[in-house]
């Protein structure tokens, strides 16, 4: 990373020589997942559409219960219809509709084309199998190679993910490794067959901060070197800031905003996105800063609020927000995002948001002034200064 960091908007191309993001590799169209439970229908994912292009890193950001993990599992084909689960929409990978495949057909894609890294490296490894066997398993399954060759490949992989003494490691069991080392092993397994798409669901949440930085660096480096596409799922906006091309923010099972990473940070339009950014303590400037508070908590997905799902917590909410759910619509080109910063690809620099009163617009300023004056939002949530710091 170079001098480009001086320019405040010059954040974050994670890839030094971008593998020009090209054709959509993964297209999720109207993905919906509902779980029928005793208490009612949990609407975990509602009509989520996303495109991930070749060589692109797309971050899906959301709090617990936002549907990001269920969405990822649906993409992977790990959540399917039946037995109380209702699914809708399609997931197309390289032209193939994954949702139409049988599990036998899917298993040819799993590991070979699409690989998954999960949050907890302890539970995603088999505790009674040696590391080496766990890596060679998928190589032997998907590639026509001898055991010796597979082992050689396993050693190379462990070395490439930065594990010391790989020859010794392949004889070890998961419990002999630390959390960070285990996560490196799961990454090695994920990469064993050169997948075109890597799904990483909270890959660093269980790790310490210095190890987290190492693993994120490693993923960014591997992604760039191998030209993989990556879907990076996280609850922490901070970790994807310098490590993604685009971000999709999820709330209550929906995408509420999606934009190129630098645009999203420079010009968030959905109040939830803005609030998420301001709720995190800053790492520069004065301390004892009053944090912007988002009142309440994420909605119950069995009985989500009518209208905009964020409206009960939104300091700018007006009557319309309570009754009418805003559609995902295109943003006006922002004066803040310089064209020169845009990706060279022909793909549109889509910035979409779901809000009747997008942050920064005249309508928003009016809504804010009205709520501050009456001391509450249309939903009856008291609006305090803490909520409208910006």
Partner 1 sequence: MTPQKTAPAPAEPDTVPDDDVVLRLEDLVVEFRAGNGATVHAVSGISLEVRRGETLGLVGESGCGKSTTGRAIMQLPRPTSGSVVFEGRDLATMSGEELRRVRPKLQMIFQDPISSLNPRRRIPDIVGDPLVVWGRGDQRAKVVPEVLEAVGLDPAQVADRRPHQFSGGQCQRVSIARALVLDPEVLICDEPVSALDVSVQAQILNLLEDMKARYGLTLLFIAHDLGVVRNISDRVAVMYLGRICELGETRALFDTPVHPYTRLLVSSIPSMQDVADLEQVDRGGGEMPSPMDPPSGCRFRTRCPLATERCADETPLMREVLPGRFTACHHPILDHAGLDHTGEDVGANAADEHTALPPDGRPGKEDA
Residue list 44-73, contact with partner 1 (CB under 8 A): 63-64
With CA atoms as reference, report the closest residue to 224 among 55, 22, 94, 2.
55
Is residue 39 near partner 1 by the rule CB under 8 A? no
* Total residues belonging to the chain: 390
Is residue 288 near partner 1 by the rule CB under 8 A? yes
Where does this chain touch partner 1 (CB under 8 A) — which range of 139-147, 185-193, 282-290, 329-337? Answer: 282-290
Residues 6+ apart with CB under 8 A from 269: 257, 331, 351, 353, 355, 358, 359, 360, 361
Residue list 213-232, contact with partner 1 (CB under 8 A): 213-214, 216-217
How far is the C-alpha of 218 from the C-alpha of 174, rounded, in Å? 20
Is residue 287 near partner 1 by the rule CB under 8 A? yes
Instruction: For 181-228, list the strands marked E by DSSP.
Output: 197-201
Residue list 189-218, contact with partner 1 (CB under 8 A): 208-214, 216-217
How far is the C-alpha of 61 from the C-alpha of 202, rounded, in Å? 10
Is residue 365 near partner 1 by the rule CB under 8 A? no
**CA geometry: angle 119, 61, 174, nearest 5 deg:** 10
Is residue 281 near partner 1 by the rule CB under 8 A? yes
Q: Using CB under 8 A, which of 153, 241, 309, 341 touches partner 1?
A: 241
Where does this chain touch partner 1 (CB under 8 A) — which range of 15-23, 83-91, 131-139, 289-297? Answer: 289-297
DSSP for 322-364, please give it.
Answer: HHSPPP-EEPPPPTTS-GGGS-SSSS----EE--SS-TTSHHH
- The smaller minimum CB distance to partner 1, of residues 227 and 298, is found at 298
Helix (H, G, I), strand (E, B) or coil at 374: helix
Cβ atoms within 10 A of the Cβ of 147, count?
10
Task: Output the smallest distance, CB 197 to partner 1, in A.
Answer: 24
Task: Output the smallest distance, CB 389 to partner 1, in A.
Answer: 7
Which spans of this chain sit near partner 1 (rule: CB under 8 A)? Answer: 1, 5-6, 8, 11-12, 63-64, 162-164, 178, 180-181, 208-214, 216-217, 235-239, 241-242, 275-277, 279-295, 297-298, 313, 386, 389
């Amino acid at each position: 990373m170079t001098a480009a960091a001086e320019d405040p908007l010059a954040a974050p191309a994670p890839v030094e020589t971008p593998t020009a993001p090209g054709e959509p590799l993964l297209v999720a169209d109207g993905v919906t997942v509902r779980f029928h439970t005793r208490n009612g229908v949990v609407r975990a994912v509602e009509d989520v559409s996303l495109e991930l292009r070749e060589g692109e890193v797309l971050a899906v950001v959301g709090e617990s219960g936002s549907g990001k993990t269920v969405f990822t599992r649906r993409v992977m084909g790990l959540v399917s219809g039946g037995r109380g689960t209702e699914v809708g929409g399609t997931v197309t990978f390289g032209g193939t509709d994954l949702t139409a495949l049988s599990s036998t057909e899917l298993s040819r894609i799993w590991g070979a084309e699409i690989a998954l890294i999960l949050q907890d490296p302890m539970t995603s490894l088999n505790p009674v199998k040696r590391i080496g066997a766990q890596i060679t398993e998928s190589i032997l399954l998907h590639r026509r190679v001898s055991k010796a060759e597979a082992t050689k490949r396993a050693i190379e992989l462990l070395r490439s993910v930065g594990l010391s003494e790989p020859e010794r490691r392949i004889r070890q069991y998961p419990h002999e490794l630390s959390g960070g080392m285990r996560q490196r092993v799961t990454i090695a397994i994920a990469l064993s067959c050169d997948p075109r798409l890597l799904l990483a669901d909270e890959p660093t949440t269980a790790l310490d901060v210095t190890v987290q930085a190492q693993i994120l660096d490693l993923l960014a480096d591997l992604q760039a070197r191998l030209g993989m596409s990556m879907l990076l799922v996280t609850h922490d906006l901070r970790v994807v800031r310098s490590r993604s091309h685009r971000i999709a923010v999820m709330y209550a099972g929906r995408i509420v905003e999606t934009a190129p990473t630098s645009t999203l940070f420079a010009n968030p339009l959905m109040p939830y996105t803005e609030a998420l950014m301001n709720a995190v303590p800053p790492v520069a400037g004065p301390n004892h800063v009053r944090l912007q508070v988002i009142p309440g908590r994420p909605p119950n997905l069995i009985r989500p609020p009518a209208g905009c799902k964020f409206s009960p917590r939104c300091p700018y909410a007006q009557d319309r927000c309570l009754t009418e759910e805003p559609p995902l619509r295109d943003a006006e080109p922002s004066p803040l995002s310089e064209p020169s910063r845009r990706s060279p690809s022909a793909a549109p620099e889509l910035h979409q948001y779901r809000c009747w009163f997008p942050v920064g617009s005249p309508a928003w300023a009016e809504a804010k002034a009205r709520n501050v004056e009456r001391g509450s939002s249309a939903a009856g949530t008291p609006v305090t200064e803490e909520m409208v710091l910006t």
